[in-house]
Structure 1
Amino acid sequence: MIDRETLPYRPCAGVMLLNRDGQVFVGQRLDSTLEAWQMPQGGIDPGEAALAAAIREIGEETGIAPHHLDLIAEAPDELWYDLPDDLIGKIWKGKWRGQRQRWFLFAFTGTDDDVDIATEHPEFRAWKWADPADLPAMIVPFKKALYESVIAAFADPVARRTRPGHG
């Protein structure tokens, strides 16, 4: 039995990607049979800046090129989540108890044709645009509080972008 308390948190970057209609990109993971959706996210490599990791992860997971991204905001604090007990030791080679994440809000300036989840190392089997308020209900239950924190962190800039007449 792995002792959760001795495991560190995996450093990660996460991205809330907004389209012109104020909807958020979400994908269904290939490695899960759940009907759960998630925003792009992934590990920060040693020596890599969180923003660089976020842009890299968008490309790796969505095929979206950096020139279709405009940084709007960064969450002021790291956000954390713990894996449920049944996943400790089973994913990430058993090295982590959960994740500590830096979150970024980007505007997507391209079109749906610029999204291609059939990347070199695909992570999603499907993708769609979703209303930000729907995100907590779409994610795996152990990440629900995290997603609520992300939505709260970006509530003001998202509201400014989705006001009628904006854009």
Structure 2
Amino acid sequence: MADEALAVLADRYKGGAINNTRVAIRKVRGTRCGYEIFFDLEVITLGENYDREPITTCVVKWQTDGTSAVAVAASKERWATSAEVFRQALRTSVTDDGIRASPFGNEGSEVRAVPLQAARTAFFVIYLAEGDDEAKRTEAAIKVFKRAVEARLGRSLIVPVALNGVNHLWLIELPG
């Protein structure tokens, strides 16, 4: 069994460019996991080849203070204003209905997870959906909640886990 599991992540654009590079701590024996450390790559020229083209490599510049322009911009971009209602609901439900869980078994650190249904209920309490009647407002809220979960999963801001046959979520807080 591995003592740790790391993931190198980045936002990739269709043209091949990358941005928002970071290392995610997925599992660490005996300590906290679920956070990310941002880094930038600095291109260094080592010399030239026989066609006088540069030979390059990259050096990792860790952003451990959490104040780099890339990290700050990424942090703001990752939780858009429209998603703050979802984030608030998830934080509230984790506080009110969350449980301590070890999704990686005894090998990983402990997290505070909340049943998906409790997060959904907390979201419905604070989300003001528009519609002509209660059924349309409920349908709209269900769609918005589903999109919010999918978008946050896609950006690695929340993590799903099944505990005792029940779907749970936990929130990954960014540094800074």
Q: TM-score range by the shorter chain?
A: under 0.3
Larger radius of gyration: 2
Q: Which has the higher contact order (CA 8 A, sep 6+)?
A: 1
The two structures have a TM-score, normalised by structure 2, of 0.25
Higher strand share: 2
